[in-house]
Amino acid sequence: MLVGIDVGGTNLKAGLVSKDGQMLAVEKWPVTPFEKSEDFVAQLVDLCRIVCAKQGVDPATLDYVGMGIPGAVKAGEITYTCNLPLQGVAVEALFRKEIDVPVLLENDANCAAVGEYLLGAGRGTTDFTIITLGTGVGGGFIVGGKLYSGGGMVGEVGHMVIEKDGAPCGCGRHGCWETYSSATGLIRLTKEAMAAHPDSALHTVAQEQGGVSGRTAFDTALTGDAVAVALCNTYVEYLACGAANLCSILQPEVLAVGGGVADAPAHLLMEPLAKMVESSCYAANVGTPTRVVKAQLGNDAGILGAALLKQVL
Amino acid sequence: MLVGIDVGGTNLKAGLVSKDGQMLAVEKWPVTPFEKSEDFVAQLVDLCRIVCAKQGVDPATLDYVGMGIPGAVKAGEITYTCNLPLQGVAVEALFRKEIDVPVLLENDANCAAVGEYLLGAGRGTTDFTIITLGTGVGGGFIVGGKLYSGGGMVGEVGHMVIEKDGAPCGCGRHGCWETYSSATGLIRLTKEAMAAHPDSALHTVAQEQGGVSGRTAFDTALTGDAVAVALCNTYVEYLACGAANLCSILQPEVLAVGGGVADAPAHLLMEPLAKMVESSCYAANVGTPTRVVKAQLGNDAGILGAALLKQVL
């Protein structure tokens, strides 16, 4: 029996998972503010004990606990994270003081890639890429059936510059893909369109929804508002630009798109995106373009992938 | 004993190579125009026989012959190439009618990557990337000590868009990295600078050199010409943009730069390039930036890599 834990900037989620990928129990709660890293790891231990208890499993009998961390990891430690004050924390050592089973740490986007590869949109492939549209744009790669995890922080695809000297990014560069294609980027583009078009229905919809979100552009486009339709097109173009770049560099069989934004109406997002990427990626010249599909596992991908990490190492 | 053959758009080069990577004999000649694909493969057979004869080796006793092809390959066939009329040619089958030893086909940039990885700039690493600045920008990746050769055409890094809606590229997209950073791109940028600055010393140098080449900008910058210095800076910025993208996506330990342009004076090319990439790649945040270095093997990388392919499969 396995436990997968998905450490997010705001939520902690754990699942008890069988070796064949069945989710047997889940527990989720918001990250409780903590001062000492021990207190943070104590939350992970509690989560692990709770999901085990739900099925009467003794935590000490787990094969291992896999954890997806929003940052870089190496040898059981968190080497870099910008969302939680956990840099340098020896998670594995602290965790094993309480539950002495092997702990595998991996980047959270990589865990989602593993989940989708083994149980979702990537099943049946050997070269698979996933991008996740959230606060940033995350990415994970399966290469020849194995997770590509160079230095525990591979897949910083969001910081690929697609518009030299473009919009400033928190990383210090300009024109990074995620400044346009993340949910945050979409919200920025939406606000810019609203400022430029005071008459657009974007304003009404945003007001009804209590503010601008990653849904505003798509929901307004559904009403036929021309500004919102053009905005969605622009968003998809940026998204397709970076996605086609990844496909030309890595030539995966399938590129899956996850994250909240991917739930937008298919005719406004996934359909035009797939068409653009499949026609512009370099392998289109050979007649073997990457297939672009929506991720299938939603929020469970990270837990399942963390739990099944050993299958792809 | 092994033979590596490097098939270029203009030259064919073959080498007899020992298992430990010693180049024992070399032969090189221009591609002779051919009508039938059999005639082309006959040239490869001749080359192979000649390098073997130089050391008294019977070609039938070779372990295998490795070939680097400027295009995509799969299962012994050329599936795509834009420089030679060889699409669909079953190279392995035709070759073995004359010399019946195993034939390994691989993309030429991938072969150069293998050569540099095993014997040059990538020695001692396990994750290594090489880019080659020539007519286009080629790339090859070693991942975990193995060649990443997805579909025989991975590493089309030159067709990564770094300036959305930028300069048109032969592939159909706009703003591809190679439209700025290849030797061809540098020549285009040089001609643009000359048109904008009729008084620049670029004109004199180009005239002395019999036309604009990939050397013109750097040679003129050495004279202190402000326009040429600014041009070189611009070129390096574009080059660094795509290189930092690759580093953020793949997190290699070392990124090597090969091709004729890489021979430019180090203080004008490799030094500022390394500084820019090492400060802007994402791993700089963790204190483990990719090291950027010049490739070491020159034109031999492709032959040596083709000959040693089996070590990285």
A23 CB near a chain B CB, below 8 Å? Answer: no
User: For chain B, percent helix, then strand, then coil, each to nearest 5?
Assistant: 45, 20, 35
Structure tokens given for B160: 């990564």
Q: What is the mean pLDDT of residues B18-27?
A: 97
B245 CB near a chain A CB, below 8 Å? Answer: yes
**A143, A285, A286 member nearest B143 (Cβ):** A143
Q: What is the mean pLDDT of residues B273-284?
A: 90
CA A11 from chain centre, in angstroms, equals 14
Q: Which one-letter amino acid corresponds to residue B73?
A: V
Q: Residue B67: phi, psi to the nearest 5?
A: -130, 135
Which residues on A lie below 8 Å from B286 (Cβ)? 72, 79-80, 151, 153
Verify whether the Cβ–Cβ distance A250 to B150 is below 8 Å. yes
B241 CB near a chain A CB, below 8 Å? Answer: yes
What pLDDT score does B155 carry? 67
Which residues on B lie below 8 Å from A148 (Cβ)? 143-144, 250
Verify whether the Cβ–Cβ distance B153 to A283 is below 8 Å. yes
Least confident of A48-62, A217-231, B141-155: B141-155
What pLDDT score does B112 carry? 92
Which residues on A lie below 8 Å from B166 (Cβ)? 164
pLDDT band at B85 (very low <50, low <70, confident <90, very high): confident
pLDDT at A72 over 70: yes
pLDDT at A304 over 70: yes
> Do B20 and B3 meet the contact criterion of CB atoms below 8 Å apart?
no
What pLDDT score does B258 carry? 93
Q: Any idea of the CA torsion for B191, B194, B195, B198, to the nearest 10 degrees?
A: -160
pLDDT band at B8 (very low <50, low <70, confident <90, very high): confident
Q: Which of A106, A85, A75 is nearest to A41 (CA)?
A: A85
> Do B138 and B115 meet the contact criterion of CB atoms below 8 Å apart?
no
pLDDT at A152 over 70: no
Q: What is the mean pLDDT of residues A4-8?
A: 93
The Cα–Cα gap between B84 and A79 comes to 48
Count of Cβ atoms closer than 10 Å to residue A187 Cβ: 18
The Cα–Cα gap between B7 and A111 comes to 41
More confident residue, B37 or B122: B122
Q: Which residue of B has its CA nearest to A239?
A: B164
Structure tokens given for B281: 């790649």
Which residues on A lie below 8 Å from B252 (Cβ)? 150
- For B143, the 3-state DSSP assignment is strand
Residue with the two structure tokens 């089309």: B156
A167 CB near a chain B CB, below 8 Å? Answer: no
Considering the domain A2-114+301-312 in this protein, what is its CATH number? 3.30.420.40
pLDDT at B79 over 90: no
- What is the number of alpha carbons within 13 Å of residue B31 lying toward its C-beta? 18
Count of Cβ atoms closer than 10 Å to residue B170 Cβ: 12
Question: What mean pLDDT value characterizes chain B?
Answer: 93
- Distance from the B163 Cα atom to the nearest Cα atom in chain A, whole angstroms: 4
The Cα–Cα gap between B30 and B232 comes to 32
Query: What are the pLDDT digits (tens) for A263-299?
Result: 999 999 999 999 999 998 888 877 788 999 999 999 8
User: For chain A, percent helix, then strand, then coil, each to nearest 5?
Assistant: 45, 20, 35
Q: What is the mean pLDDT of residues B47-64?
A: 98
- Could you tell me the residue ranges of all domains in chain B? 2-114+301-312, 124-295
Q: Which helix (H) or strand (E) holds B47?
A: helix B37-54
Common-topology check for domains B2-114+301-312 and B124-295: yes
Q: Any idea of the CA torsion for A219, A220, A224, A226, to the nearest 10 degrees?
A: -140
Least confident of A76-85, A158-167, B1-10: A76-85
Query: What are the pLDDT digits (tens) for A93-131?
Result: 999 999 999 999 998 889 999 999 999 999 999 999 999
Q: Which helix (H) or strand (E) holds B257?
A: strand B254-258
pLDDT band at B35 (very low <50, low <70, confident <90, very high): confident
The third-level CATH classification (topology) of the domain covering B124-295 is Nucleotidyltransferase; domain 5 (3.30.420)
pLDDT band at A43 (very low <50, low <70, confident <90, very high): very high
What pLDDT score does A170 carry? 86
Query: What are the pLDDT digits (tens) for B264-275?
Result: 999 999 999 999
Question: What mean pLDDT value characterizes chain A?
Answer: 93
Residue with the two structure tokens 């059999």: B38
Q: What is the mean pLDDT of residues B16-35?
A: 93
B5 CB near a chain A CB, below 8 Å? Answer: no
Q: Which residues pair with B80 in a beta bridge?
A: B72
Least confident of A210-214, A253-257, B85-89, B144-148: B85-89
Burial of A196 (0-12, 13-18, 19+ CB in 10 A): exposed
> Do A17 and A24 meet the contact criterion of CB atoms below 8 Å apart?
yes
The third-level CATH classification (topology) of the domain covering A121-295 is Nucleotidyltransferase; domain 5 (3.30.420)
pLDDT band at B10 (very low <50, low <70, confident <90, very high): confident
What pLDDT score does A150 carry? 66
Verify whether the Cβ–Cβ distance B250 to A164 is below 8 Å. no
Q: What is the DSSP letter of B208?
A: H
Percent of chain A surpassing pLDDT 90 = 76
pLDDT at A5 over 70: yes
pLDDT at B179 over 80: yes
pLDDT band at A136 (very low <50, low <70, confident <90, very high): confident
Q: What is the mean pLDDT of residues A200-210?
A: 97
What pLDDT score does B135 carry? 84
A247 CB near a chain B CB, below 8 Å? Answer: no
Residue with the two structure tokens 């709770």: A50
> Do A160 and A147 meet the contact criterion of CB atoms below 8 Å apart?
no
